[in-house]
Amino acid sequence: MPELPEVETVVRALRDPLTGRTIVSAAYDWPNCLVTPDGPLFTARIAGQPVRGVTRRGKYILIALDPDTLIIHLKMTGRLYVAPDSAADEADRWVHFTFQLDNAHQLRFSDARKFGRVYLVEDPAQVVGKLGPEPLDDAFPLAAFRARLAGRSGLLKPLLLNQAFIAGVGNIYADEALFTARLHPLRHADTLTDEEIARLYAAIRTALIAGIAREGASVNWYRKPDGTRGSAQTALNVYGRADQPCPRCGQPIERTLVGGRSTHYCPACQARR
């Protein structure tokens, strides 16, 4: 599933072709992807709304219209791209939502597995209101991270994946952050020292910033809106590298399941204490 760096990359690529345009009409062929409102109301309500901007909240893409907000979650296999009306793309075979723009272009939502979700709401908080803070936001300093950890005793890996705790971190960047912080994914949050909390905070930000700089990790379905791959997967330390040598100490990277999620770590650098 695309995480914060992948979604941020998509948002940045969509801003220029979408901002200032008007959605003339919308069409879809998979109603289960549409969460709200009901189909006929959705197509009638979105028609004629101008695009004011494109932003991100956690793993959600927010397209600010007037007066509503179009929110899209890519889930596992979703891809958003803008193309001329007559242009064909290899991802078109999985397009289930098409938003016609006023300049003979379309915003297309391709989703092979059909797990993506689409919302049209008056208030974005209806969808993203329960998300935790943005880990790269200046309004989320180390002190705020410490405060959120206070009183928590759960395992570190599931905690980082909890979108109500912190928004946007997924499997890839949780593994990378824990490696950088030298913390075992099965450590309990209430066992962290002040110094370890500071390391983890910095490591989360480092992993996400590196992912954005490389325009996301194309380890599965993720592609940028222009169809090309991100390159973050070429610089991962542990994720997807089971049995390969640790880049820090040379020990083989191990893979296990934590909370049902594939988890990669170095047993030497991330010793469980």
Positions annotated as catalytic residues are 2-3, 59, 261
| Sole residue written with tokens 């910033």 | 209
Question: For 197, what's the count of Cα atoms within 13 Å in the CB-facing half-sphere?
Answer: 18
By three-state DSSP, how is residue 108 classified? Answer: strand
User: Residue 217 in contact with residue 172, Cβ under 8 Å?
Assistant: yes
Q: Going along 89-218, which residue ranges are E strands?
A: 95-101, 105-111, 117-121
Q: Is 29 exposed, middle or buried (0-12, 13-18, 19+ CB in 10 A)?
A: exposed
User: Residue 185 in contact with residue 156, Cβ under 8 Å?
Assistant: yes
User: Residue 1 in contact with residue 172, Cβ under 8 Å?
Assistant: no
CB burial of 49-61 (b: ≥16 within 10 Å; e: otherwise) equals: bebeebebbbbbb
DSSP per residue over 133-157, as a string?
--TT-TTS-HHHHHHHHTT--SBHH
By three-state DSSP, how is residue 61 classified? Answer: strand
The alpha helices in 63-141, defined as continuous H runs, are 125-128
How far are the Cα atoms of 10, 133, 163, 202 from residue 207, in angstroms, in the given order? 18, 16, 17, 9
